[in-house]
Structures are given as structure tokens and as C-alpha cells.
Structure 1
């Protein structure tokens, strides 16, 4: 009987491992899909507006078919507010990747765990430790090394990427410390709606250029399906099977995939300084994830923590 239980545990862990790994890989595909949309004339606001609108519509339809009700009242407003934070983070990241290299934008955005830890220690009374302080130093050193030695494009791109990391970190702190999610996938749908509403407002304020032509629309649909909906579902289904710490560690595959795509498929050059800075930032993220902090999937899409795998798939 004990052997059967151990076998089931191992099988469940392996399934969770594969799902979280798939989630990180899919999130890393964002630069590839975005490249095709940009080539057809889309701008970040137009692309992200369509991305989140499609993703929210698909997820809402799925929830309706499953009979899952959306959050209401205060929880709904909180999830929409988190969506605004994620939307601003996505705007910063996608804008940065157009004015500077994708690789540098990914590295700088991925410093968000350091922002989460710093905010939690400074304002939420989270206990500090030697390893946390070391990770903050590593993240800062990685950012300085990457930007100081490998700056491509305008300085505004660097600032947009750091704005993305700060916005994403702030949204995470608010989402994990102020909100109790009743149904993670329903909360994710509300946050996606908040993202879409953010870009509706941005489009009204500054205008937006939507994807044009079949290749660009196929790329945008791929972005919504394979780099948004699929990784959200995979992470929510897999993370409860392996634990949040292991899931956060596995999620560090995302910047590796994104940078690899930027170098091999987009044709970017990554220098020794940028590579070294990226390694420092990823090392800091791994250390923080192993310290028991609340660091969800490091992507620009909401992933509330699920209590049970059956709640998702």
C-alpha cells in the first residue's frame, strides 16, 4: 500500500513538473509572436489590447461552459486592480523590447523578485535574512552589469523595462497580501479583463495600431493562446503538485527561452556583460524562490495560486 502511495506521489510530481516547465516555456515564446505582429505595423498598445481581449474572452467562455462564477463585489474590484498593474507591466516590457534589445528587456524585467522582496521587507514587515540580502545585491549587480556594458537602443527602453519590473512586483505584493482568491482560474479571468480594460484606456488616450494582415493576426492569436491561456492553465494545474517554491524555481526557464529566441530567431547579439548580468538576475530569483517567499510565475500574465489541482483541469 505504501509503495502504491509513493508511486502515485511520484507520478503527480512528475506531471506537475512537466506542466510548470511547459508554462515557463510557453511564456518565453512572447518575443517570437510579438516580432511577427510588429513586423506588420502593430504597436505595443494595439498588440496587447488584442492579446488580452482574446485571452479574456476565451477564458470567460471556458468558465461559463464549466459553470464557474466570476468573483463579485470587493474581490472583483481587487482582481481588476491587479489587472491594471499587470497591464502596466506588460506595457513597460513590450515598449522596452521595441526600443532596446529583447534580451536586455527580459533581463531587467526579471529583476521583479528583488522589487517584491524589497517592498515586503520595507513595508510589510517580512523577515530579512543573509540570503535575501545577497539576492538583492546580485539582482542590482546584474541590472547594472547588463545595462552598463550592453546598452543597445535608447535609455528610455531601460527605464520602461525597470518600470515593468516595478509594476509587476507591486501587483504581486498587492495580489498576494491583500486578496484571498476563491477560484484561481476565475480570478485570472478577472485580471485578464483588467489588463484588457487598461489597454482600452491607453488606446483611447494615445491611440493604438492593431495587427494588420493574416500573419500578424495569426501571431497575435498565438500570443493569446500559446503564451497566455495555455501557460496560465498549465501553471495553475501543475504548481499545487510540486509546491510554490519548486514552481517558482522552474519558472526561471522563461527568460532563458526568451533570450534564446531573441538570439537564434530574431538575430540579436548578446554580449558577455549582458549574459553575466542575466545570470546574476536569474540566480537572485532562484535564491528568493527557495527562501519561501510568494513569487508566482514570472510572466506578464496573472497566475493566482491554486489550492487543489482539480480546481483547474
Structure 2
């Protein structure tokens, strides 16, 4: 390879590495903004309606400025369905982090690669290699170890977190099988729009709570900007430069950031069982995600 070409390739990789790393860090900030929004009186439905609506509105405006069209009707419906799956996952994740410890919610949520891989082995005839089976056992063991000392008091939170992982896994499976590749920013916009419509319906049927202070609204805006729009843009820009496997590996920084925030901001204690189980789940997520590529977070 030409030295100049090789140098440019290395620079592109470093740029992509930094962008995906920034995306993972920003996604991990979700508990930070949610903490202040909840303290200001918001509940998960109200907070997520604001988050998805603001993010979808900003993305639609960006596409209009760039004169990029939304997908055809044939692709619009299936992509909106992916958005509904992501919305369900976000509801489970945010409800779990409110009703149980943030650390436990994050760890259980990131068991989703195990569900995706298990489905692929059972129903899509993918090879059940020894590495995959060991990774699945590691993920399941991590879930059991993490919940072992908490399951009795946090059964609702554990249920919400596992619902989040299953919903996210289902959205990935459906999107992979039914929706052909398209412009990533267009896909992200439609997915966010699907989330906004989902929580709009949830608000209409069930109601929800808005934040009651300027700080709470600022947290909602920060959630939409810095933990949704920014990481989507940086991930979409960075992942093609480093490849899906490396991008998915770097994405596992997200739960580490989220758990660190829970410890430093909320004052949660990291028990030995939670630490051990979390490490098992993250390692399994790295191994499984590398073989399946990466996804945008809910």
C-alpha cells in the first residue's frame, strides 16, 4: 500500500474510533439527564415523549435543510415498526432505572445480544459455535449473578429491564430481516419518529408527567441533544470508518459510563455480585456483538 494512502487510512480509523467512542459515551449519559428530569417531576412516559419528539423534530429539520427525502411508503412502515420496538425498549429501560438501581437496569438491558444470538441459533439456522454458546452461558450467568441479591426486592425493576432487552433484541431481529439497508440518518429519523408516535399514544391512553422546573426541562433538552442526536450523528459517521465489529466493541463503553454515573451521581453502591455479573454481561456483549455488528441504542 502507498505510504500516503496508508497514513490517510490510519487517520480515518483514528477519526472513526474517536467518533464511535464519543457516541458510546454520550449514550451512557442517559441516566444523568433522566435523574434530573425525574427529580423535577417527570415520569418515563412524559420524559420519553419529550425525548423522542424533540429528537425526531430536529432530525426532520436537518433532513429538510439537506434536502434528503424520507423513505418510500414500502420502507416507511417497517422502519416505524422498528421505532416502536425501540420505544418499548426505552420504556422498559427507563422504568427499570427508576424502580430499581440504575446499575442493575443497565446490566440487564445489555444482555440483549444474548437474546439476539439465541434467536438466530434457534430460528435462523445460524451456527452454534462453541464461542457463541460459551458467550451465551456467560451472559445468562451474569444476569443470574447480578440479580441474585436483588431479585426479591426489585422484581418489578428486573422485569422491566429484561423486557427492555427483549424488546431491543426483537427490534434488531425484525430490522435485520425485514428492512433493507438505507441512509442511516434517514433510518434513525424514522425510528425516532416511531418512538415519538408510540409515546404520544401512550400519553393519550395513560397520561404522563412533565418536568415541573426549568432544570427538568433543560435535562430533557440535554437528553434529546447530547444523549440522542449527537451520538446518532457521531456513530453513523464513525462506524463505517472502523467497521461494524470494532464499532460494536466500543459501544460497550455505554453501560460502563451509565454505571459510573449511577455511582458518582446517585450514590449507588456496587455490590460484589453486581460488579461480577456486570463484568460477565459486558464481556459476553463484546464477544457476541463483534460477530453480529453494531446497533444504535434506544
Residues 61-110 of structure 1, C-alpha deviation per residue, up to 9 Å, x if partnerless?
00000000001212000110000000000000000111100000000000
Question: What is the CA-CA distance between 1:153 and the residue it aligns to?
Answer: 4.5
User: 2:59 maps to what in 1?
Assistant: 59
User: Is 2:158 aligned against 1:162?
Assistant: no
Corresponding residue pairs, total? 298
User: 1:128 maps to what in 2?
Assistant: 128
Taking the TM superposition and a 5 Å limit, the aligned residue runs for 1:137-176 are 137-151=137-151, 153-176=153-176
Q: Which moved more, 1:151-160 or 1:222-231?
A: 151-160
Question: What is the CA-CA distance between 1:151 and the residue it aligns to?
Answer: 4.4
Contact 2:21 2:253 in 1 (8 A): yes
Contact 1:84 1:198 in 2 (8 A): yes
Local SS of the residue matching 2:10: helix
User: 2:16 maps to what in 1?
Assistant: 16
Taking the TM superposition and a 5 Å limit, the aligned residue runs for 1:293-308 are 293-297=292-296, 299-300=297-298
Question: What is the CA-CA distance between 1:154 and the residue it aligns to?
Answer: 2.9
Local SS of the residue matching 1:69: coil
Contact 1:139 1:284 in 2 (8 A): yes
User: 1:238 maps to what in 2?
Assistant: 238
Contact 1:150 1:271 in 2 (8 A): no
Contact 1:27 1:228 in 2 (8 A): yes
User: 1:101 maps to what in 2?
Assistant: 101
Local SS of the residue matching 2:148: helix
CA distance in 1 between partners of 2:275 and 2:22 (Å): 24
User: 2:87 maps to what in 1?
Assistant: 87
Q: Which runs of 5 or more residues in structure 1 are unaligned? A: 301-313
* TM-score, length-scaled by structure 2: 0.98
* TM-score, length-scaled by structure 1: 0.93
Contact 1:113 1:295 in 2 (8 A): no
Residues 168-189 of structure 1, C-alpha deviation per residue, up to 9 Å, x if partnerless?
0000011122211321111110
Cα distance change, pair 188–2 in 1 and its aligned pair in 2 (3 A): same
Taking the TM superposition and a 5 Å limit, the aligned residue runs for 1:126-275 are 126-151=126-151, 153-275=153-275
User: 1:31 maps to what in 2?
Assistant: 31
User: 1:114 maps to what in 2?
Assistant: 114
Contact 2:247 2:294 in 1 (8 A): no
Residues 193-221 of structure 1, C-alpha deviation per residue, up to 9 Å, x if partnerless?
00001101111111110122110000000
**RMSD of aligned alpha carbons:** 1.1
